[in-house]
Amino acid sequence: MTLKNKLGIFILFLGSSQVSSAQDSIPSKKISDSDRLKVLENVISALPKISGLVNLRYQYSTETANYSSGRNGFDVRRVYLNFRGNVTKELSYRVQLDFATSPKVLDAYVEWKPLRYIGLQAGQFKTAYTLENPYSPDNLETADNSQVISKLITDYSNNGRDIGLALNGSFFQRKGYNLIEYKIGLLNGNNINTTDNNKTKDVYGILLVNPLKSLTFDASYYKGQYGAETAKYDRNRTSFGARYNDGKLLVRAEYIAGEIGTTQANLKDAKGYYLSTAYYITDKLQPVLKYDFYQNDKTVSNTAITNYVVGINYWITPKTRLQANYTRKDNRDPSNADSSYLVAQLLLTF
């Protein structure tokens, strides 16, 4: 029996007791079964919806000292517990925690959505910048993000998240989708679960155009600064992408370029792009192919790394997936040997 069901039974019992007490105290007024049921339904509907994810992983890499880099053996990668609910029809909330390694808050925000044209999100949340970053681990077709996402989007251990405000909305509604969607955010630009340590705030924006329900084009821009006020440096990035997903065939590609470094003096112009494709052979079996390129400094050719990924997804049940990826890592720098990387993981959602 799930936690939500246990809570529901408890509330049902409590609600029944309260209704019975009220009925006993006012013998002249009978409460019908349908009225009692409505009261209990209203109480239960106010409870948060509870879900979660357990992610167990095995990794092996041929890189030297793979044991010290954490790429040799088993680990509990993620243990998420997610709470969602609605205060009113227009006001919702979400709190998501990760209990793997040390417990931490991933998401904690409220969202007000009075109209489809505009909504306001406030708190800590996953930024909508790029097509891939908003994907959650349980619906990403590969075991890991593309190199350029890891380097230029989640490059300061923020899980692709930040704290701030974001506007979102859509226009020109079609059957089952919107022709245009937008998201604009004002963020601390620092790590998650921390306050900002400089005077500036980061901004991002993404425009998505959906000429078909299955086809999306996007352009994104991010402008900000990272680090302490006395030693902050620029983090400006631009991306373009496209996605086709008809429920059976998925093709997604993005190009992202921007500044990377640790001080303003050593900033480099980095770039990366990927092409990922997946296809459901059956309802349970989905092979995956991915070409993944990243160059840490556009002016230095031997800083480039190309990953060739072959993977398979298999759903044991609709909420339980086995995922395996083999990656061949091609280093342009001759001083770094090419390597192979294998990851297999179980993702169980509830």
Task: Pick out the chain residues at pLDDT < 50.
Answer: 2-3, 6-28
A 10 A CB-CB count for 5 gives: 10
Q: How many Cα atoms occupy the beta-carbon half-sphere of 111 within 13 Å?
A: 22
Give the pLDDT confidence score for residue 100 in this predicted structure: 95
Q: Give dist(CA 288, CA 242) in Å, integer.
A: 17
Give the pLDDT confidence score for residue 154 in this predicted structure: 84
Tens-digit pLDDT profile for residues 212-258: 999 999 999 999 999 999 899 999 999 999 999 999 999 999 999 99
Q: Who contacts 208 (Cβ-Cβ below 8 Å, separation ≥6)?
A: 180, 181, 182, 216, 217, 218
Q: Who contacts 156 (Cβ-Cβ below 8 Å, separation ≥6)?
A: 190, 191, 226
Give the pLDDT confidence score for residue 24 in this predicted structure: 46
Provide CATH 2.40.160.10 ranges for the chain: 48-349
Q: Who contacts 119 (Cβ-Cβ below 8 Å, separation ≥6)?
A: 111, 112, 113, 167, 168, 169
Full-model pTM: 0.85
Q: Who contacts 34 (Cβ-Cβ below 8 Å, separation ≥6)?
A: none
A 10 A CB-CB count for 325 gives: 21
Give me the CATH code for the 48-349 domain, please: 2.40.160.10
